[in-house]
Homo-oligomer: A and B are copies of this chain.
């Protein structure tokens, strides 16, 4: 991970650890106390930014007013830590309404995934980003998350979108586990998008690999609930101690194994938050149900074994 020049109107906020808190629900209503508690916990740990209403924050499931309220709470509680706000929606005009609310909340940037119901073309997605970047002065993180959006970005489309004004960062879905291949992948994206756009890795299991392969940021699921180990990995990579980043990631392998075994990171992180008393039981929006008791027991065992409590 190399220190790089930022776009003039950016602040370096689009580097380092961006922590993605859950938006816990209780009886189908946002549990504001639990959300505030999660954000306070993050602020105390010291991430470089907080991304509210990412996929981990269930943005796609929440209504406009709920999202506006969560954005405001996040900024209010962030104590100066930059807050990015997810604004994705299926319809462009609804995205713009969320942008209005993110601006009103005092967001430092917005995260935009091309959600799909009908499959979208590259032109559709480019025009979506063009419309949003023309609409707002807020910096935009391009959110490439094919596991949820079912839209696949090409590097060429990254490059076209990166030329739009206000594009600050690209959240890529991951990197190859092989270090040489990872470095080549990140270098290829950087050559395409230019130095003014940061590249952030997601997919927590490959975060250390991504940071060691010259990604500028980690958009982190686990960082939103367990910020300490995420910061250990991030700071090690930032300080050139790549082996230490890898060692901490390797130590967390039982956690990554749970993500793989139990259908992805979201339900596991929700179970961890519930186990630690940070969120009420069944905090995800239905129809997304929480894990069963045997899985929860396995998760609690790993949390204890790794000293994450």
Contacts and interface: CB of A to CB of B under 8 A. Distances in A.
B119 A264 contact: yes
Nearest to A117: B60
Copy number in the complex reads 2
Interface stretch (A221-229, A286-294, A299-307): A286-294
A3 interface: no
A241 interface: no
A109 interface: no
B92 A286 contact: yes
A153 to B, nearest CB: 14
Contact of A119 (B60, B62, B127, B263): B263
Contacts of A28: 92-93
A10 interface: no
Interface string A74-95: 0000000000000000111110
A118 B289 contact: no
A285 B147 CA distance: 23
19 contacts: A55-B117, A55-B118, A60-B117, A61-B90, A61-B91, A61-B117, A62-B91, A90-B285, A91-B287, A92-B285, A92-B287, A117-B148, A119-B263, A121-B289, A124-B287, A124-B289, A127-B287, A127-B289, A150-B150
Given A55-B118, A61-B117, A131-B286, 18 more contacts: A28-B92, A28-B93, A60-B90, A63-B94, A90-B285, A92-B286, A92-B287, A114-B287, A115-B117, A117-B148, A119-B148, A119-B264, A120-B287, A121-B289, A124-B288, A127-B287, A128-B286, A128-B287
